Structure 1
Amino acid sequence: MSGLRAYASYRDEARETFTRIPEHWDVVRGRHLVRIRTGSGDTVDAEPDGKFPFYVRSDKPVMSDHWEFDTTAVLTAGDGAGVAKVFHLVTGRFMAHQRVYVLDEFRRVTPRYFYYAFSNLFHLMALDGSAKSTVDSVRRPMIADMPFAVPPLDEQWAIAHHLDRETARIDTLIVEQQRLIEMLRERRTAVVAHATSRGTLVEFRRIIAALRQGWSPNCESWPADGVAEWGVLKVGCSNTGRFDAAENKRLPDDETPRSEFAVRRGELVMSRSNTKELVGAAAVVQGDYPRLLLSDLTYGISLAADADPAFVAYALASPAMRVQISAASKGMSQSMQKISQRDIRELRVRMPALDEQRRIATYLDEQTSKIDTLITETERFIDLSKERRSALITAAVTGQIDVREVA
């Protein structure tokens, strides 16, 4: 946005989506700019080989053999995880889910300008009151009553053209950084695979001293973070391969803690139930957490004296072991798989001598730490790029910058 000037004069507007706009712009509610309706399709109507895009409540459409709209429209999810996050600008024939809003018949706005303004500011209308999270579902008045800053049509074209160009540049940078992350993760996997490929192949039961499953109390949604509070581990505590004690839910004060399920220093915590990619993920408990308890979705595994926990955690994350874990897991869907204690005991793992295990674990700690740092830095760059993209759009569609000359 550097080099872009502000408009000559502004007027104050106490609106949900902006506080001031250029003097010659109008404020118009959504109901006066677009027709608001929803689709009629259901997820079961999807056909993988269909001819028409079928917009559901996710980022990517599925396909359908039928269509119900033939128009240019802006679409947004009406409920679920996509609320105030999923938006599409489409033209032509398409199908829409019954909980997807279809906004068309544009009046006083160009479709692309409206898309930029609506997709970038609608989250302010969909806040649940906490200013942090969105509501579970979108109600029609949220769209109908949303105030838009509406410039003359020639300025709308200029703004949309400028944003098309600038957001394309940012999006290209983001895609390049995402590819870098993929390469780094592939490198990490290769390093772990090579380092854990030596040793005698043994059944996992041979290196297990004890295997226990946690319990399932009713917990608060927020984590325990004080010495007087008890927490029950969430399944995601071992997703990254490093134990995350913050991944827990607070045990209510009226629930009696079962201290026999407390995690123990040096044991492996493994996810019993998770997605296909993460079921069986394991991490070593490095510290003392006497008030953190295993949940029924996690296992606590104590190893025999000749097995180094850090090495075994790396081995479980290797491609060879992931193939075994995936084959042993069972469930009704890819998003919820489970692995039994019996199947864990029957896994086969390569185990070198204990001194070699420790040397390998130390080497992998160093190598994966470097790679993980690069991944974290790259993810931060992506987050900053997305923030810059959003700030640019907001500034343009609320008139905080004048793009007419550069556009």
Structure 2
Amino acid sequence: MTSYYQDTVNSGYAWLGWVPRHWDISPLGQHFIERSETVSDKDFAPLSVTKDGVVPQLDNVAKTSNNDGRKLVRAGDFVINSRSDRKGSSGVSSRDGSVSVVYSVLEPRPTLYGRFAHHLLRSPAFQEEYYRWGSGIVADLWSTRYSAMKRILLAIPPLGEQREIAHYLDSEIAQIDTLIAEQQRLIEMLRERRQAMIDHVFTRCSEDRVPLRRFISFLTSGSRGWGGYYADFGDVFVRIGNLSRGSLFLGGEVQRVNLPPVIHEGQRTKLQVDDLLFSITAYIGSVAVVDQEWADSYVSQHVALCRIDTSVLDPKFTGYFMLATEGRGQLSEGAIGGTKVQLALDDIRALRVPVPTLEEQRQIVDYLDRETSRIDMLIAESERLIELSQERRSALITAAVTGQIDVRQEA
């Protein structure tokens, strides 16, 4: 059971807040020594520093590394990937090895218990403070040098208490991670069930596959060079990220464009309800059908707009078919060739689709809308549970390592 410390003091530092009075507030440099010895990865195996901690570097990555001029890492050292520190890429190494010279390697002093240091320096609160002490031109080149890092103030409990906090967090995090893993497996099973349902419907469609070109009344790709028209207000600009890989709905972050009056070319790519959209340069297989909410938007050069004869072919029926394994296979086959994986408009015209009666098409659409919606609701619930679990995980770590909760076992 956890509780709150009764005797606390204001640290005077925003990232620490109120801390237990018996904890020692002191600079990071008092508890870590920077290790800067350079070695060869022939003698010390290359390591990667990820969100999962310090792990052996993959063979295909290791082959491209420079043999000399790497930083030595000893088992028990804390390593920070300074190029992605805000993403939590850091941790205590369980083995000797070597890392890039741009990484920070810290040797804990005897005042620190390794697992407590692992949780403390990976906590979201510390990562934000660490980032604040850094410098750089852009986020990807932002880094915090040890000369600045060593001045960051930490609140350090006695060694015995550090062990209790670390053991508590190890246990709690393991339970949370197990729950997250179970939900991720459930999501994967639900997605497989969804795909099997769609495949089963179209496997039973015995009609011959007919070239889509016979039903296309208009086909085009989006306009180029509209990045300069991006604005906070204006018309919606549909990008490839707005097309889902698993459903026919448009979604995601909305980008707007403010077009000058002289730009008339965009009218060619203005969307209408029931237009069928295909990703043509990335995420091949992403398909969407335009509803009223997205009508009158424009599409980017990476999206193809396909307008079909709705008196013969239902757009959602066609979209669902393209989500089926058979349809995805055609899209993938058409995208392979040349120097890049992409679809040409002729590849879309060449797609072959079943064409049962409109009544049958609409019955299939109604069935798939209903059944996939049920599965999508279950997936959304699991995704929300994962999100809440991750938030609890972060909050729990920060609370424990900054003294917001007392996890010590009562006698």
Normalization by structure 1: what TM-score?
A: 0.84
Distance 2:132 2:362 in 1: 50
CA contact (8 A) 2:19 2:403 kept: yes
Superposition deviation, residue 106 in structure 1: 3.6
1:303 equivalenced with 2:308 (yes/no): yes
Match of 2:167 in 1: 161
How far is the alpha carbon of 1:375 from its aligned partner?
Answer: 0.4
Deviation (angstroms), 1:138: 2.2
**Structure 2: distance between partners of 1:100 and 1:331:** 40
Q: Deviation at 1:252?
A: 4.2
Counterpart Cα distance in 2 of 1:36 and 1:324? 55
Counterparts of 1:271 and 1:62 in 2: how far apart (Å)?
32
C-alpha deviation, 1:302, in angstroms: 0.7
Partner of 1:343: 347
Question: Offset of 1:363 from its aligned partner?
Answer: 0.5
Larger Rg: 2
Cα deviation, 1:36-71, whole Å, max 9, x if unaligned, reads 4689899xx9x9xx9946305565742447784333
Hey, what does 1:62 align to over in structure 2? Answer: 58
* Match 2:28 to one of 22, 27, 30: 30
- Structure 2 Cα separation of the partners of residues 38 and 321 of structure 1: 55
- Write out aligned runs for 1:7-406 (5 A): 7-36=5-34, 52=45, 54-55=47-48, 59=52, 61-63=57-59, 64=62, 68-79=72-83, 83-120=86-123, 121-125=125-129, 135-136=139-140, 137-140=142-145, 143-197=149-203, 198=205, 199-219=207-227, 229-239=234-244, 240-244=246-250, 247-252=253-258, 257=263, 258-274=266-282, 278-287=283-292, 289=294, 291-304=296-309, 305-330=311-336, 337-405=341-409
Using a 3 Å threshold, how does the CA distance of structure 1 residues 195 and 24 change in structure 2: closer, same or farther? Answer: same
**Percentage of identical aligned residues:** 31
Mind listing any 5+ residue stretches in structure 1 that lack a counterpart? Answer: none
Contact 2:130-2:152 within 8 A present in 1 as well: no
* Cα distance, 1:233 vs structure 2: 1.4
Aligned partners of 1:39 and 1:251: how far apart in 2?
Answer: 52
Q: CA deviation at 1:322?
A: 1.6
Question: Per the alignment, do residues 288 and 38 of structure 1 end up closer, same or farther by CA in structure 2, a change over 3 Å counting?
Answer: farther
The worse-fitting range, judged by mean Cα deviation, of 392-401 and 365-374 is 392-401
Q: 1:249 to 1:344 in 2, by over 3 A?
A: same
Contact persistence 1:39–1:98 (CA under 8 A): no
Unpaired runs of 5+ residues, structure 2, are: none
**TM-score with structure 2 length normalisation?**
0.83
1:206 partner amino acid: R
Cα-to-partner distance string for 1:56-104 (whole Å, 9 max, x where unaligned) = 5565742447784333223333225x63332333221333234433333
Distance 1:347 1:29, change over 3 A: farther
Q: Distance in 2 between matches of 1:406 and 1:222?
A: 59
In 1: Cα distance, 2:92 partner to 2:391 partner: 21
Contact kept? 1:57, 1:100, Cα under 8 Å: no
Counterpart of 2:190, as a letter, is L
User: Do 2:221 and 2:301's aligned partners in 1 also have CA atoms closer than 8 Å?
Assistant: yes
**What's the CA shift for 1:145?**
3.4
* Inter-CA distance 52–302: structure 2 relative to 1 (3 Å threshold): same
C-alpha distance after superposition, 1:127-178 (max 9, x if no partner): 679xxxx943222256333322100111001100111111111111111111
Taking a change above 3 Å as real, the CA distance of residues 4 and 105 of structure 1, as seen in their structure-2 partners, is closer
Q: Closer, same or farther in 2 for the Cα pair 1:13/1:242, shift >3 Å? A: farther
Q: Are the counterparts in 1 of residues 26 and 153 from structure 2 also a CA contact under 8 Å?
A: yes
Q: Which 10-residue stretch deviates more, 160-169 or 194-203?
A: 194-203
**Secondary structure at 2:220's aligned position in 1?**
strand
Q: What secondary structure sits across from 1:370 in the alignment? A: helix
Question: Is 1:7–1:400's contact at 8 Å kept on the other side of the alignment?
Answer: yes
Q: SS of the residue aligned with 1:273? A: coil
Moved more, 186-195 or 252-261: 252-261
CA deviation after TM superposition for structure 1 residue 237, in Å: 1.3
2:237–2:255: 8 Å Cα contact kept in structure 1?
yes
Q: Is contact 1:77–1:83 with CA below 8 Å preserved after alignment?
A: no
**Counterparts of 1:127 and 1:221 in 2: how far apart (Å)?**
32
Moved more, 64-73 or 348-357: 64-73
Alignment length (residue pairs): 387
Deviation at 1:115, TM superposition (A): 1.1
Task: Give the residue type in structure 2 aligned to 1:298.
Answer: V
The AA in structure 2 aligned to 1:284 is V
Q: CA deviation at 1:354?
A: 2.0
